[in-house]
Amino acid sequence: MNDTKYFEPKILVGIDELTLVLSIDKEIREEVEETENWKTVAEKIIQEFEEKAQLETIFGERCELTENRPAGYKVAYKYGNQPFYFAVAYHPAHCRMGVLVKFSGHSWAVYCADGNMNVKKFLQAVKSASYKQRLSRIDFTIDYQNWDMTVDDIYQRLVDNRLEIHNRSERKNNSEITGYEVDGEASTFYVGSKKTGTRLFARIYNKRTEQIEKKGFRLDEALHTKSWVRFETVFKGDYAHQLTEIIDKMREEDLQNLIIDKVTEKFLFYDTEKNRYTDYTVALLKKAEKSFPQLRLESPRDNNFVSSLFHLVRNAGLFSALHKSDEIWGKSTSETLLSKLHQIYTEYYEPNDDVKLWLNKHTDILQKETLEEQFVRLKRLISVTQKQKFKESEKTEKECETVCAINIP
């Protein structure tokens, strides 16, 4: 065998792990919560999902998962006696958490291979009138096999500012870079935070070393490569939700293009010494033949003041914190809490660039009105929202019993 041809540089595009959440409509959910019937509903959803996904055919018979249940979920199942992690789970007391379906990278690879499946076909196959579905996490991978690069070199050049990470708008990514070094050499580093609530982060690591040390399911492939660097981009939360919609509308044959498009939308490696993108970034861009809708990130610079207040009232958890304070320590302690929060604000708060941009854009306009006028608009917005919610509830009240009977037996 010709070694030169054998170790030819390759770029492989794929999906590692993914997590899917199955949920029921809000109106139905409220009735299910009132009747404390969520456990029965969740079990029905799991039964239908496993049939549509052919889980027992591909993985084996369902059984209870007692160890390593997904965080926050009390009831979990696995399928077959497999060497990989796969779980379907729910919490019997929390309908809002839905049913969680969690694939590890290994289980997803086996599922796709044995079931002749991909993420587009999978999401189509498991669609149901009984539940809604959306991804809460999906990991896109770009594998550079036999390229003249190392993880440590990329990491050190980023730390020294010889490399920069840009997005498609050529804006520099200033996320924290965290490296894990052994004997002064990094084999893994992260771009961005892995904390709960993060929409996006990237992991760059030595896939060849990982597979050899862990005797992974791609060990043979690793042994037949000279080098293997993986760029893994993790989309969570709202980004994963948007990708669910994009995947639903795209053609199956465009899946590779989608992965490349989304990775390069967020992570382009720019060589500051040569004033151009790196060879591996350019090569990846050339593999893409189609673009897709850009992932949206809501920014405070685009919100008007009343919208910001409305978010604070309805979604930010402030009012629930005030209520908890009154319930635990007595009425009116919420006023003390607000006072303490204001003290923290005056002592520690530093506005970020988004807030400064927002002020530059809106200050002149808002100063033509009073703060009291903003509160009047806020109350009107809350009132309209409450009335709309009541109308929707009234409209679906008569339908709810029929919907439950048809969709959630």
pLDDT in tens, 300-333: 444 567 767 777 776 668 888 888 999 999 988 9
The span from the CA of 404 to the CA of 400, in Å, is 6
Quick check: 119 pLDDT over 60?
yes
What pLDDT band is residue 352 in, cutting at 50, 70 and 90?
Answer: confident
Query: Which residues, in sequence order, are CB contacts of 48 under 8 Å at separation 6+?
Result: 128, 130, 131
| 339 and 216 part of one domain | no
The 8-class DSSP code of residue 310 comes to H
Chosen domain end from 235, 270, 296: 296
- Interval 280-290: pLDDT, tens: 999 999 988 77
pLDDT attached to residue 147: 97
| 68 and 125 part of one domain | yes
The 8-class DSSP code of residue 162 comes to S
Number of domains in the chain: 3
Residues above pLDDT 70, as percent of the chain: 85
Beta strand pairing status for 163-166 and 200-206?
Answer: unpaired
pLDDT attached to residue 279: 96
Closest by CA position to 299, among listed 372, 378, 237, 357: 357
| 158 and 291 part of one domain | yes
In a domain, 288, yes or no: yes
Could you tell me the CA-to-CA distances from 172 to 254, 268, 269, 270, 342 in Å, in that order?
28, 9, 10, 9, 34
| 159 and 292 part of one domain | yes
| 230 and 354 part of one domain | no
pLDDT attached to residue 361: 64
Quick check: 144 pLDDT over 90?
yes
In a domain, 135, yes or no: no
| 151 and 83 part of one domain | no
pLDDT attached to residue 354: 66
| 164 and 271 part of one domain | yes
What pLDDT band is residue 213 in, cutting at 50, 70 and 90?
Answer: very high
| 80 and 121 part of one domain | yes
| 50 and 87 part of one domain | yes
DSSP reduced 3-state for 315: coil
Chosen domain end from 110, 130, 150: 130
pLDDT attached to residue 408: 31
| 338 and 400 part of one domain | yes
DSSP reduced 3-state for 360: helix
In a domain, 82, yes or no: yes
What pLDDT band is residue 350 in, cutting at 50, 70 and 90?
Answer: confident
What pLDDT band is residue 161 in, cutting at 50, 70 and 90?
Answer: very high
Quick check: 274 pLDDT over 90?
yes
| 340 and 223 part of one domain | no
Residue labelled with tokens 């006696």: 81
Domain with 83 in it: 25-130
In a domain, 181, yes or no: yes
237 vs 380: which has the higher pLDDT: 237
Chosen domain end from 264, 296, 328: 296
In a domain, 386, yes or no: yes
What pLDDT band is residue 401 in, cutting at 50, 70 and 90?
Answer: very low
Question: In the predicted model, what is the mean pLDDT of the chain?
Answer: 86
pTM, two decimals, is 0.72
Total number of residues shown for the chain: 409
In a domain, 16, yes or no: no
pLDDT attached to residue 281: 96
In a domain, 20, yes or no: no
Q: Indicate the range of 34-48, 112-126, 205-219, 264-278 predicted with least confidence.
A: 34-48
pLDDT attached to residue 378: 78
- Interval 27-53: pLDDT, tens: 677 677 666 788 999 999 999 999 999
| 308 and 398 part of one domain | yes
Query: Which residues, in sequence order, are CB contacts of 405 under 8 Å at separation 6+?
Result: none
Q: Indicate the range of 126-135, 230-239, 242-251, 383-392 predicted with least confidence.
A: 383-392
In a domain, 259, yes or no: yes
